[in-house]
Chains A and B, each alone.
Chain A
Amino acid sequence: MRFLLRRLGFYLTAAWASVTLSFFLPRLMPGDPATAMFARFRGRLAPEAIAAMRSAFGFSDAPLLQQYARYLAHAARGDLGISISYYPASVGSVIGQALIWTLFLSGVAVLISFLLGTVLGVLAAWKRGGWLDGALPPVLTLLGAFPYFWLAMAALFVFGIGLGWAPLRQAYDDRLAPAPSAAFVASVFQHAVLPAATIVVATVGGWMLSMRATMINVLAQDHVLYAHARGLSPWRIMFQYAARNALLPNVAGFGIALGFVLSGSLLTEIVFSYPGQGYLLFRAVKSLDYPLIQGLFLTTTVAVLGANWLVDLVAVWLDPRARS
């Protein structure tokens, strides 16, 4: 319990540091949201209007520390402000809309990749030198070594544009209204297959290799030999005696990967024009939409820390030594 509480304290500190960084970093970029917004009018804005807009849109000239204090107070209340590039929509509603798609796409993809990679790693280590062990790791490592955006664009070009099997943009067919209908669910699935597949292909090799390496170590240990000697079934030894112990590093990695689900899907979403957090962040940074950038950093931080906290819980469950 003390362990978990100590971790919680650490997470709160990390959250504060991240929120602070997400406030100051965008402000170090050249330009400011006001000029970025006004530039769209190509000079056709009256100077009086610019001055009035600065205050109306909340582009404050107050000292940074004062703005920072106000931002912290608002963020603590859950008020993330109004987005500039989606004005007058609130940051909360803009992120909420995108969050669902990111969670769905990257969450499912990371989960599939983790499960698939782990199981493949277990099997490869069990039958060391077998055909699975010989063929898969080099192929998957090769695929994982491609720059991801290249892999994604090639997949989009071949399967989307060339063969016409996959849609080219968005999360569902724009002639359907979001509803719990079979057509809508099918459309969502159809739009997610290609982006999700590229994430799985790019990452599954990592999971497999790390699982295989730990598994080989564990398989050489005495308790596994003892289990063999007792005549237990190979499946039981493989999963209950070896895999459970070998799983710890992968679970810790899974926690980190889960956190990056929110931010790491940037390239996927840009290439496949998927309306999630990553695409949103890309746009927010381009238009210097400070409130939206801050909001996105905040949700990502909370997600990464939350996922790590969950991993801590799982680690305590898997490994009794962590409890003391």
Chain B
Amino acid sequence: MIWRVPRLVSRRSGASPVAAALTLAAGLGSGLGSGLGACGGARPAPEPGVLEIAEGAKTSAFTRNFNPLLEAGDMRWPARGSMYEPLLIWNPMTGQFVPWLAESFAFSADHLRLSFALRHGVRWSDGQPFGAADVAFTFELLRTHPALDILGVGEYLRAARAVADDQVVFDFKRPFVPGLDDISAYPIVPAHVWKDVADPLTFANPTPVATGPFTEVTSFQPQAYRIERNPRYWGGAPAVQALHVRAYPANDQSILAIINGEVDWACDFIPAADRILVGRDPLHHHYWFPATDATVALYANTTVTPFADARVRKAVSMTIDRARLVMVALHGYTHPADATGLSDAHQRFRDPAAVAAGRAWVAHDPPGAERLLDAAGLLRGPDGWRRGPGGRRWSPTMIVPVGFSDWVVASQIIARGLRAAGVDVTLRTLDYNAWNDSVQKGVFDLSMGWTLYSNTPYTFYRGLMSRQSVKPVGEDASDNWHRLAIPDADRLLTALEGTLAPEEQMPLYHALEMVFVREAPAIPLFPGPLWGTYNDKRFVGFPDQRNPYAPLSPNLLPQALLVLTRLRPQ
């Protein structure tokens, strides 16, 4: 499953409070609150039954691109949010697959064959029946156009075959159970329309034919577009009449729109949400920021001495005041991570024994950190600063992308802790692209960064500990920036690739957590919050902490379908 990240300014699920946005919004809450109502003059009431959504992508002009396989391009949200549907939808709140275009799935005993029984009575929005041929066609497209196969199913998938109208079978090259997560999440496109598409890589699909609840583009302007409901929807015609999406050029603009009640459903980070958002209309304005997104960690580059030593990484971790960090930098929207590094979405995988075993090195314990650094041979010199292996002052540099204001504040707190322990760390803010280039190429000492996230902790641990994910310094690595391979972890990960039964998987995950706790390959800081806000003045049925039937954030695709099909006008 892809955790779609909005473009540019807000690459991290909207978790990018640009300094200006923060200041502006904070100023609004305190100062000019009374003038806000007048914003935009006399706005006519929004059309009944039309849901206002704010896309995660911040732009001033929309590109009409409804190609669900072209997520790397400028894809519009409904392509995967309301139009093209997957076989199954993973619900991270329940830890279960929700049957969608497929009603059930089964692996063969050798895990080399995965079959899906498709739902009956599903029709494309042009009236043609949906069937196994469409599924096989979609995966054939991925095979012939590897650039569309962003999850890389081609690495383990041999072919997808339609064995009956309602039966599709995936043949694997090798046992790879986690492949189910990716295969079941791909949006299925109609063979009868797409077989005539010359180049699916440049196909913008302006008038989509899809199976989803909202498929008809009735208006498309650079600044706004409208999608009407699909009367043929297999789940019954949706209660919401249409979706209306406006272009917001920057985060502060969309935050203002949410505060003013112009948007019913959005995925923006809002600072001091209780005051700024809920305070404006306690009855209707709601937010839900569960800590179920990927964990944010501090990476220590193990190709740089002395970070190859696990004791040093643990000592760095012990200098960090995580409670203060989440309170100051994250507005208290999340909580400190434990030593397994697992996000709250993976709660059921968490092994209490592993948490207990690592409790010491994620606690804020400056004296303990000093003892550990002394033991690692990094002794304080006469000037109070610690000396590195060569006897020279140990002066690592910590980098952070400029504009990630929450990360900048967090990095400052981390640096303060390190300096108190005698580590002469300097903090450098870099342009986002320069920072990205440094961490991917492994040319850095210390940096905060996100981790990988998928249905299970498999991807998370693979990206932090597997030999498969290690690239030489200087080569772009999308994960394992710290360049550390742990053979014990590789063994467990390989075992997981051939294990399906949850009761057999769990001991393997617990063992992986123990390896992580022992080695501290990355220093977990906090599980990322998943930003989601809604306004129930006009529509009801949104999930929240009282009714957590699905994640709230519309940014989460295809999970947004779970919410969209439940909403109804007030």
Contacts and interface: CB of A to CB of B under 8 A. Distances in A.
A169 B249 contact: yes
Q: How would you classify the secondary structure of chain A's contact residues: helix, strand, loop or mixed?
A: loop
Contacts of A46: 149-152, 154-155
A273 B72 CA distance: 25
A35 B476 contact: yes
B5 A41 contact: yes
A157 B437 CA distance: 36
Contacts of B204: 88-89
Contacts of B356: none
Interface stretch (B217-225, B274-282, B371-379, B513-521): B217-225
A160 B6 CA distance: 27
A174 B74 contact: no
Interface in A41-59: 41-53, 55-57
B249 A170 contact: yes
B146 A88 contact: no
B249 A44 contact: no
Given A88-B70, A89-B63, A168 B253 contact: yes
Given A48-B155, A275-B61, A275-B223, A164 B440 contact: no
Contacts of A35: 433, 436-437, 440, 476
- Chain B CB within 10 Å, residue with most, of A82, A89, A97: A89
A279 B8 CA distance: 13
A43 B7 contact: no
B41 A164 contact: yes
A162 B249 contact: no
Nearest to A38: B478
Contact of B2 (A31, A41, A48, A89): A41
A5 interface: no
Contacts of B44: 175
Contacts of B149: 46, 48-49, 52
Interface stretch (A8-16, A193-201, A282-290, A304-312): A282-290
Given A30-B437, A170-B60, A288-B433, A57 B221 contact: no
Nearest to A190: B41
Nearest to B47: A175
B247 interface: yes
A178 B222 CA distance: 10
Interface in A163-188: 163-165, 167-172, 174-175, 177-178
**What band does the interface of chain A fall in when counting residues whose beta carbon is under 8 Å from B?**
35 or more
Nearest to A287: B8
Given A44-B151, A46-B152, A161 B28 contact: yes
Nearest to A84: B73
A40 interface: yes
A29 to B, nearest CB: 7
A97 B145 CA distance: 31
Interface string B206-232: 000000000000010111100000000
A40 B7 contact: yes
A280 B249 CA distance: 10
A171 B150 CA distance: 36
B436 A39 contact: yes
B249 A42 contact: no
A3 interface: no
Nearest to B40: A167
Nearest to A283: B8
Interface string B4-22: 0111110110000000000
A50 B150 CA distance: 8
6 contacts: A30-B433, A44-B3, A44-B151, A85-B8, A161-B39, A174-B247
6 shortest interchain CB distances as A-B pairs:
A46-B152, A164-B38, A87-B73, A31-B433, A52-B146, A275-B60
Given A30-B431, A89-B204, A165-B41, 15 more contacts: A31-B433, A42-B450, A44-B478, A46-B154, A48-B152, A49-B149, A49-B150, A56-B145, A56-B201, A87-B63, A87-B74, A162-B32, A164-B35, A169-B249, A286-B433
